[in-house]
Structure 1
Amino acid sequence: MSRPLSVQLYSVRTESAADRAGTLGRLAAMGYGAVEAFDVTDDAAGLRRITDDLGLDVSGAHVVQVLTGDPGRVFDAVATLGTDLAIVPAGFPHEDFTAYDGLARVAERLNSLAARAGEHGLRLGYHNHWWEIEPRLADHGGRHALEVLAELLDPAVFLEVDTYWAAVGGADVPALLGRLGERVAALHLKDGPGTKDDPNVAVGGGTMPVPEVLDAAPGAWRVVEFDACAGDLFGELQASRAYVSALEAV
């Protein structure tokens, strides 16, 4: 994998709120080479200055705001960050993923937003949680809702697969990634006990089959994330970087 290992800045949201430059500096010092933004409308230019100063790439940006605000303003902020990947991280009713009609509505909205993103030189993606995985559509071969959604999306729309939430939703994650194929442009790597409510642990320290996951999507960005942390956050981030980097070096 030639791209640098990234970390989703939601993981350090509390620390960044207190000292954004110092927090990103700690991530860079650990050896992370990229970050993924999550609040792009909050001083994108300032974040870009920090990442440039630290030599960090921006692997992508989460853009839930496109569902409720002016998409053009949000996409301009993403472009300011220097990435071309704008990722919608949920924001649709959970029940839309339980039936084909709901999936069609989600796909129509994402396809429309993808056209707007293209006007800004960006690609639009969608990031899953457990509720896009857990439903299986009996009239579509019993496949996970996310797989059916992928068929309804314009080919320009990519997926960022949160591998931990996919496992929590009941997926065989390496097999799912294999079926989704080149649609997957990024992976969220996290680990833990495989439950909905418990905190995360360092990647490699929980139930996830991380080597098989990485092998199943060799061309995707690797993005470490903690929704919540069971231990010392920066220590767990360091351990995650060391584990993933060692696997990628093999």
Structure 2
Amino acid sequence: MAPRIGLSTASVYPESSAHAFAYAAELGYDAVEVMVGIDALSQQTSAVTQLAEHHGLPVSAVHAPCLLFTQRVWGTEPWGKLQRSADMAREVGAEVVVVHPPFRWQREYARDFVNGIAALENSTGVAFAVENMYPWRASSRRGMEMYAPGWDPSEEPYANTTIDLSHAAIAASDPIEMARRLGERLRHIHLTDGSGSAKDEHLVPGRGAMGARTFLHHLVEVGFDGEVVVEINTRRCSSRAEREADLRESLEFAREHLGVPAS
């Protein structure tokens, strides 16, 4: 079966999770990924459940609050945040929690991360799909390693992983080669794009240099059956119509190159 095409609530920021569900329903997305963040609705399981039921859209994944600006969402203890993410996922019917590797300064968390993720998957029954990140760099090509045990999930024995094309662009990493290394451990996709600059651009797929269409064709060839979620940056959109146009273009791109007909 063709993968579902979901919309990340992060794609409509600074609008709310409620707006994300509305856009997804109106445009014909198959599901929604909830980024737990500073939007209060995203932190409330009951609110997420009500939004999903109201719009008739399943929640495909919960993105744990592990970004720099969400470090205090659901407290500051990282394992507790992941447990709460799994609890939300189970209650809203999602099978996946997307999680970033720890920052290097989170030494104790990083030390036990690989085994801790495996233990959480075993105890919760939820897949923790560890996302590829990138070296931090300025204008030069030299980067600082800011994640531990590392930014490339293919180098660790995670059972479930996520590939994000914008992150791959910053790291100058070939996403198809990463997907090949991961094999069946690739569970989740953040469909976006990047130019290869030092910024995490999250461009509309097809507007960058990551060969997003070729990457989707590869997924079809290998029979990928996980989730494909559009996660783009629309913060610079000057109007609702412009944001909606970017979200529609991204969905149509995904449908075309995954061979998924419009519902």
TM-score (norm 1): 0.78
Deviates more, 1:228-237 or 1:175-184: 228-237
Q: Percent identity?
A: 23
Aligned-residue offset at 1:33: 0.9
- Say if 1:89 and 1:128, in contact at 8 Å, map to a contact too: yes
**Structure 2 residue 239 is matched with structure 1 residue 235:** no
Structure 2 counterpart of 1:131: 135
CA distance in 2, matches of 1:89, 1:112: 13
Aligned-residue offset at 1:135: 7.1
Structure 2 counterpart of 1:50: 51
Structure 1 counterpart of 2:61: 60
Equivalent runs, 1:76-95 vs 2, <5 Å: 76-93=87-104
Structure 1 counterpart of 2:16: 16
Q: Secondary structure at the match of 1:188?
A: strand
Structure 1 counterpart of 2:258: 248
Q: Secondary structure at the match of 1:206?
A: coil
Structure 2 counterpart of 1:119: 123
- Say if 1:199 and 1:228, in contact at 8 Å, map to a contact too: no
Aligned-residue offset at 1:239: 0.6
Aligned-residue offset at 1:71: 4.2
Structure 1 counterpart of 2:113: 109
For 2:29, which of 5, 29, 32 is the aligned residue?
Answer: 32
- Say if 1:33 and 1:55, in contact at 8 Å, map to a contact too: no
CA distance in 1, matches of 2:243, 2:200: 15
Which segments of 5 or more consecutive residues in structure 1 lack a partner in the other structure? 97-101, 138-144
What is the letter of the counterpart of residue 38 of structure 1? Answer: M
- Say if 1:200 and 1:229, in contact at 8 Å, map to a contact too: no
CA gap 1:214/1:136 in 2 versus in 1, 3 angstroms: farther
Per-residue CA deviation, residues 34-78 of structure 1 (Å, 9 max, x unaligned), is 111111871112212211232212111112367253543332122
For 2:213, which of 211, 215, 220 is the aligned residue?
Answer: 211
Cα RMSD over matched residues?
3.2
Q: Secondary structure at the match of 1:130?
A: coil
TM-score (norm 2): 0.74
- Say if 1:164 and 1:190, in contact at 8 Å, map to a contact too: yes
CA distance in 1, matches of 2:20, 2:249: 17
What is the letter of the counterpart of residue 183 of structure 1? Answer: R
Aligned-residue offset at 1:146: 4.7
Q: Secondary structure at the match of 1:14?
A: coil
CA gap 1:78/1:198 in 2 versus in 1, 3 angstroms: closer
CA gap 1:163/1:183 in 2 versus in 1, 3 angstroms: same
What is the letter of the counterpart of residue 179 of structure 2? Answer: L
Per-residue CA deviation, residues 126-156 of structure 1 (Å, 9 max, x unaligned), is 1122229x8799xxxxxxx555x545325xx
Which one has the bigger helix percentage?
1
CA distance in 2, matches of 1:198, 1:119: 33
Per-residue CA deviation, residues 137-184 of structure 1 (Å, 9 max, x unaligned), is 9xxxxxxx555x545325xx3110112211220112212211221111
CA distance in 2, matches of 1:197, 1:229: 14
Q: Secondary structure at the match of 2:98?
A: strand
What is the letter of the counterpart of residue 45 of structure 1? Answer: S
- Say if 1:193 and 1:207, in contact at 8 Å, map to a contact too: yes
CA distance in 2, matches of 1:83, 1:28: 18
